[in-house]
Amino acid sequence: MKTPPIEYYLQLNWTYTFETATENGESFYIVRVKELPGVVTDAPTIPEAMELIKEAMTGLFEMYLEAGEEIPVP
């Protein structure tokens, strides 16, 4: 069975959690993927945070594929 492209996995219905934090007077958003423990990022805006979390997810999915492991799905 052929593995779907990474774009397929990025389009699945993942659960994202958002929180805000402030450090040195700067506010930012922290984004996590509930189904992928350890996948977390932060950015000053939600769109930037979503772009970064997708990059982190892509890297994780590539690692799964290189290791010959099945990519988890939500």
* Residue-wise pLDDT tens digits, 10-42: 999 999 999 999 999 999 999 999 999 999 999
CATH T-level assignment (fold) for domain 6-66: Double Stranded RNA Binding Domain (3.30.160)
Torsion angle of alpha carbons 44, 21, 33, 9, nearest 10°?
0
**What residues have CB less than 8 Å from 39, skipping those under 6 apart?**
32, 33, 53, 56, 57, 60
CA pair distance 17, 30, nearest whole angstrom = 8
Q: Is 1's pLDDT higher than 90?
A: no
Mean of pLDDT values over 52-71: 95
Can you give the pLDDT at residue 6?
A: 93
Record the pTM.
0.89
